[in-house]
Structure 1
Amino acid sequence: MTVIHVFPGQGAHRLGMGKELFGRYPHLVRQADAVLGYSIEQLCLHGPEERLSDTRYTQCAMYTVGALSYVDRIRTTGELPDYVAGHSLGEYVALFAAGAFDFVTGLELVAKRAALMAQAGPGAMAAVLGITAERVREVLAGDDAPPVDVANLNAPEQTVVSGPPDDIAAAVELLKRETRAVVPLKVSGAFHAWPMAPAAREFEQFLAGYRLAPLRIPVVSNTTARPYADDEAAELLVRQLTSPVRWTESIGFLLDRPEPEFHELGPGQVLTGLISQIRVGRPVPAGASG
């Protein structure tokens, strides 16, 4: 059996998340409050919801709850995972779990990432359901298509596009000719797309001030859909800001491990649902090995 822990990102956040965890790990909660300058418990449990949904706060909240969830899982089961992976922001929790950095360092990185992404200017994203990513790309390659990027490859027929608000609105109208299931997302930025390039450049400079430790557990990268190589973490975290989240391929890699057993740690079951869709959309490998 291959034990795999996966960690959700923005979009899985909700008021009340982490309720059962904050009281169990007061020392980590105090550390988070000291880094952030506000009560993370108050934010997660009581909001206000508008603040919790602001990416500057959402990312910090999701990282904290994800990290506490991982610590609690290890403490209660005594079982380390064989692989870890996170969706977008969740990749930082995966790297914490793998020992790339301690809890506080991870939160410092996430807080800076969130601030830079918020400063990148207004953006929008939309989920396209019911058609393949290949067809989405074909539509977006047309002469009349606006300059938007494929941001998330979430499942065989669930793709997210990202870009400036007016361009996403135009892309939605084009894509509705292919499928009626095109859903604008409640985000304020063009995440994992070209408008994040300035944020990526500044984040690269910020990351240069940190030394990331060797990974003790394999982490499957959003950017490559394969485990991080040694000394690759900083480069991939920068690329992640403008590159698509290759979730379908990442889970495909993990499904090829012997008897994969997934555990989603953090609020909700968004990733569990995506993993089920990905399983259905591919054959079970014969003689899979690690």
Structure 2
Amino acid sequence: MTKTAWVFPGQGSQKIGMGIDLLDLPAAKAKFKQAKEILGWSITEICETQKEKLSQTLYTQPCLYVVESLLADEMFAHSFQPDIVAGHSLGEYVALYVAGVFDFETGLRLIKKRAELMNNATDGQMAALMGFDQKQLEYELQKTENVVLANDNNSAQVVISGRPEAVETLLNNIKVKRAVKLNVSGAFHSHLMESASIEFKKVLESVEFADAKFPIISNFEPIATIDAATIKKRLTQQMTNGVRWRETSLEMQKEEVEKVIEIGPGKVLTGIIKRTCPDFKLANVNSLKDIKAQVKS
């Protein structure tokens, strides 16, 4: 059988209309209701009509967690299952839910707190860089204070994170084919998230993790594991350290993965994985229609 990885995208992949087709499923409808009780607001209302709110960290993270989790549930309902899982930033929490490390409610409560803390961590900037000289970027990162590599997505795409003036300085000092400043509230995956990370660690320590049913590749240390203690330790480092997605792709290759299915809105992860591992078979599941297409393939 084809060894398959399921991967889950993070903040930035959200889009209006995501998850609305799931409302026809009784199990999904029940979890949307449960989510409303936990959050105090409706995932479906935000996803259906409120584009501005959907782009705000406070709402984006819970919406993505719920929609991606429900899509994964439906994949299981159609007798699919992964051999290995991974998620990009927020998506790592969906991967942990899918692997049975914690249940849906626990994951959503963690994401609710994570979103609140990150939303309050202002005075930061992030920028995506496409087409650059790796050595020049490394040199500028070393000599420029208060800016770090937040996402190492592949050899041609990274994200930097830091204080706005530091990000601006670095952008002025390197040659880059394209730079896009991200619409985020803070400098995620950097030392500027330290206070939020300390608060969140206290929350994580109160949650019991189970060993994973499938190996998980974490953002902080991209080496596959099922050990609960290792998974929790790595997750406590995620908020202040970079997402090592290029290495995640290579770890999947090392684990002899042949097919990668991105579960969630958009095609960001399959796009960046393709550059690192061009021989992978890639598929995307954004909706019920996509799941039915997987059944037929």
TM-score normalised over the length of structure 1:
0.91
TM superposition shift of 1:259: 5.0
Query: Aligned with 1:130: secondary structure?
Result: strand
Q: Is the 8 A contact 2:121 2:185 kept in 1?
A: no
Is 1:146–1:171's contact at 8 Å kept on the other side of the alignment?
Answer: no
Q: Is the 8 A contact 2:57 2:115 kept in 1?
A: yes
Partners of 1:133 and 1:159 within 8 A in 2: no
Question: Residue in 2 aligned with 1:152?
Answer: 151
Q: SS where residue 161 of structure 2 aligns?
A: strand
Say whether residues 1:190 and 2:193 are aligned partners.
no
Written as runs of structure 1 = structure 2, the 5 A alignment for 1:202-213 is 202-213=199-210
Partner of 2:293: none
Does the aligned pair in 2 maintain the 1:132–1:159 contact within 8 Å? no
1:225 matched residue in structure 2 = 222
Which amino acid in structure 1 is aligned with residue 139 of structure 2? E
Runs of 4+ in 1 over 3 A off after TM superposition: 132-135
Q: How does 1:1-290 map to 2 (within 5 A)?
A: 1-24=2-25, 25-47=28-50, 49-76=51-78, 78-142=79-143, 145-175=144-174, 178-228=175-225, 230=227, 231-258=229-256, 260-280=258-278
Q: Which residue of 1 aligns with 2:291?
A: none
Paired AA for residue 42 in structure 1: E
CA distance in 1 between counterparts of 2:149 and 2:66 reads: 28
Total equivalences in the alignment: 276
Deviation at 1:280, TM superposition (A): 4.2
- TM-score, scaled to structure 2: 0.89
> For structure 2, which runs of at least 5 residues remain unmatched after alignment?
281-297
1:38 CA displacement: 0.6
Take 2:127 and 2:113, find their aligned partners in 1: how far apart are those partners? 25
Partner secondary structure for residue 277 of structure 2: helix
Q: 1:92, 1:43 → 2: CA distance?
A: 20
Please provide the CA RMSD for this pair: 1.6
Measured in 1, the distance between the counterparts of 2:258 and 2:154 equals 18
Residue 129 of structure 1 and its aligned partner are, at CA, apart by 1.2
Code of the residue aligned with 1:270 in structure 2: it is: V
CA shift, 1:134, in A, is 4.3
List gaps (5 residues or longer) in structure 1: 283-290
Instruction: Name the CA distance, whole Å, in 1 between partners of 2:273 and 2:24.
Output: 31
Per-residue deviation, residues 55-105 of structure 1 (Å, max 9, x unmatched): 1111001101110110011112x0211000000000000000000111111
Q: Secondary structure at the match of 1:226?
A: coil
Q: Supply the distance in 1 between the matched residues of 2:114 and 2:179 (Cα, whole angstroms).
A: 28
After superposition, the C-alpha distances for 1:174-220 in whole angstroms (9 at most, x for unaligned) are 22xx2241221121210000100111111011112111111111110
Instruction: Give the Cα–Cα distance (whole angstroms) in 2 for the partners of residues 281 and 80 of structure 1.
Output: 21
Deviation at 1:133, TM superposition (A): 4.4
2: CA distance between counterparts of 1:259 and 1:5?
A: 10
State the distance in 2 between where 1:40 and 1:117 align: 19
SS in 2 for 1:200: helix
Whole-Å separation in 1 of the counterparts to 2:67 and 2:153: 22
Q: Greater share of helix residues, 1 or 2?
A: 2
